[in-house]
């Protein structure tokens, strides 16, 4: 049975069993006394880190003696602070030994009491260094000291799952329950979301299945897994979780439905995605909102199905859903691709506050029609209206005028190599420059497409300002005013970059 067919059948079910079990809440963690964050003396921090690095293998008495001497040398009123401990951890983000040795030193001090924040920082460093045995010991110690919170769960499960310690992932929940942190559905959902966000979906599913006797998963749990499997491109597993969720009486929310449709569209399974969308229109049309319509309309316009997209657009408006600029940009692009230029312009002119997505829809559509001059006119209009072009805008326009592999003109002033190869050489990209020189010598030689993004990046500096001005001047001499305006505008953008940056930092 196809994925979409199975999902469609499940969506048609009307009886939904509501999950009513109230999960037990974890014990309230008393907030430790908040210390006023005092600035750390950088010389003091450097000295402490130097001792920890150089003497990380030294016997404990010697190391502690040197650290105490360091504290006395800088005459600190508070010999140890939490801020100092956190800064030391930041200086050794992937090295467990210096951090752990400093933890032992601070833990032995009567003036220092570790909190959830300092412990979480410690286990985060040790987890990143993949010292799983020590990591597990410290997790148990946190449980005994009652310093565990939601962040501890996220760090613990992510580290153990990434190390494929799946049994320990499950055991951690049981361990915390024994320490007084009762099984919590809310905590499980946060862990699943965190694991799926780090593409550890298989591991998240394993934890959910093994904890089922202790924590009954909810619809939120299953939806997190569905979205996670869609993100990693495993629609088979996403469908299985979907089936399991509906079998247990939970109805997928619109976010899960949209995620499944989006994933099907990405792998060009258009028919299955539309079956799912049509089922929603038939059974749950009130759940369909702007995001659902936008998703389908955008895909239809990209695939040239302008008539169907426009019909959906009209349906959306009849239901009182106001189209946003992204949806209108897709409609404009679809109309332009079909050659319906006047209609596209009429919609564009009717938008009260067009943003860059609308202008990009116009530019991209006009370039598909090989109307590079008209696209450049839209570029000028967007600048007049105060809409700042992005790098993508310039790349689209340059490709529209010069082609994806560049253009070799008869006039040396518009010769592709004259404009670009010099920039590659100055950026010390000799191999790429050589390929284009070879094309000039051996006509017809196939070379890779030119990377306009890299070229513009090479000249995003003061030297580029002068170069773009010179190129624009030469292009105007031979009548290529559109290209000249594009290069000149980019040069002006580079010239004002520092000024804009300074302006953003002003109070």
Encode pLDDT of 399-414 as tens digits. 888 776 555 444 444 4
Share of the chain above pLDDT 90, in %: 52
Average pLDDT over residues 65-92: 82
In this predicted structure, the answer to whether residue 504 has a pLDDT above a threshold of 50 is: no
Confidence check: pLDDT of 501 > 50: no
**pLDDT value of position 414:** 47
Q: What is the pLDDT at residue 419? A: 54
- Radius of gyration from C-alpha coordinates of the chain: 30
* Residue with the larger pLDDT of the pair 472 and 48: 48
Report which DSSP code applies to 30. Answer: P
- C-alpha span between 345 and 289 (Å, rounded): 26
DSSP summary character for residue 115: -
pTM for this predicted structure: 0.74
Sole residue written with tokens 């190129």: 471
Residue 51 predicted with pLDDT over 90: yes
pLDDT digits (tens, 9 = 90+) for 223-259: 999 999 999 999 999 999 999 999 999 988 999 999 9
Residue-range domain boundaries for the chain: 289-388, 405-502
Q: Residue holding tokens 């210096």?
A: 98
What's the confidence (pLDDT) of residue 29?
40
Q: CA-CA distances (angstroms) from residue 217 to 231, 272, 415?
A: 21, 28, 65
On the question of pLDDT at 391 being above 50, the answer is yes
Q: Which residues of 288-316 are buried (b: 16+ CB within 10 A; e: fewer)?
A: beeebbbbbbbbbbeeebbeebbebbeeb
Q: Which of 83-97, 184-198, 468-482 has the lowest mean pLDDT?
A: 468-482
- Predicted local distance difference test score (pLDDT) of residue 395: 87
* Predicted pLDDT at 352: 87
pLDDT of residue 53: 94
Residue 320 near residue 285 (C-beta atoms within 8 A): no
Is the pLDDT assigned to residue 421 strictly greater than 90? Answer: no
User: Position of tokens 């670009």?
Assistant: 420
| pLDDT of 467 over the 80 cut | no
pLDDT score of 109 more than 90:
no
Top pLDDT among 462 and 388 is at: 388
Residue with tokens 């319906």: 340
Task: Please tell me which residue, 472 or 139, carries the higher pLDDT value.
Answer: 139
Q: What is the domain class of 289-388 according to CATH?
A: mainly alpha
Q: Considering the chain, what is the average pLDDT of its residues?
A: 82
Helix (H, G, I), strand (E, B) or coil at 460: coil
pLDDT at 435: 65
């Amino acid at each position: 049975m196809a994925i979409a067919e199975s999902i469609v059948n499940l969506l048609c079910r009307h009886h939904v069993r509501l999950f009513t079990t109230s999960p037990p809440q974890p014990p309230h963690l008393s907030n430790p006394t908040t210390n006023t964050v005092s600035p750390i003396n950088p010389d003091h921090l450097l000295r402490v880190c130097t001792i920890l690095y150089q003497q990380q293998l030294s016997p404990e008495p010697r190391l502690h003696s040197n650290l105490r001497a360091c504290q006395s040398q800088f005459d600190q009123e508070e010999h140890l602070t939490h801020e100092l401990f956190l800064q030391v951890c930041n200086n050794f983000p992937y090295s467990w030994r210096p951090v752990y040795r400093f933890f032992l030193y601070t833990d032995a001090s009567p003036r220092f009491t570790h909190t959830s924040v300092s412990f979480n920082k410690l286990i985060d460093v040790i987890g990143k260094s993949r010292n799983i045995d020590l990591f597990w010991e410290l997790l148990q110690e946190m449980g005994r000291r009652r310093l565990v919170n939601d962040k501890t769960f996220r760090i613990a499960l992510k580290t153990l799952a990434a190390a494929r310690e799946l049994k320990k992932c499950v055991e951690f929940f049981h361990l915390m329950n024994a320490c007084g942190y009762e099984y919590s559905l809310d905590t499980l959902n946060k862990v699943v979301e965190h694991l799926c966000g780090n593409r550890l979906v298989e591991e998240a599913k394993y934890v959910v299945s093994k904890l089922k006797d202790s924590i009954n998963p909810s619809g939120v749990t299953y939806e997190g897994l569905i979205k996670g499997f869609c993100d990693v491109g495993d629609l088979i597993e996403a469908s299985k979780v979907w089936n399991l969720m509906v079998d247990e009486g939970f109805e997928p929310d619109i976010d899960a439905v949209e995620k499944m449709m989006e994933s099907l569209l990405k792998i060009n399974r258009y028919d299955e995605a539309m079956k799912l969308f049509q089922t929603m229109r038939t059974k749950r049309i009130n759940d369909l909102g702007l995001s659902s319509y936008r998703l389908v309309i955008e895909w239809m316009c990209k695939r040239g199905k302008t008539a169907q997209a426009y019909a959906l657009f009209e349906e959306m408006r009849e239901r009182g859903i106001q189209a946003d600029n992204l949806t209108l940009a897709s409609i404009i692009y679809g109309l332009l691709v079909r050659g319906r230029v006047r209609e596209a312009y009429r919609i564009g002119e009717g938008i009260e506050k067009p943003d860059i997505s609308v202008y990009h829809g116009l530019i991209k559509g006009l370039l598909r029609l090989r109307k590079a001059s008209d696209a450049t006119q839209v570029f000028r209009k967007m600048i007049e209206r105060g809409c700042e072009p992005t790098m993508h805008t310039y790349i689209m326009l340059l490709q529209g005028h010069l082609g994806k592999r560049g253009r070799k003109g008869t006039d040396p002033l518009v010769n592709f190599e004259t404009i670009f190869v010099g920039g590659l050489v100055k950026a010390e990209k000799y191999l790429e420059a050589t390929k284009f020189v070879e094309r000039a010598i051996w006509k017809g030689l196939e070379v890779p497409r030119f990377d306009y993004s890299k070229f513009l990046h090479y000249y995003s500096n003061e030297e580029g300002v002068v170069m773009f001005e010179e190129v624009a001047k030469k292009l105007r001499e031979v009548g290529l005013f559109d290209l000249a305006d594009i290069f000149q505008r980019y040069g002006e953008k580079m010239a004002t970059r520092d000024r804009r940056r300074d302006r953003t930092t002003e109070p």
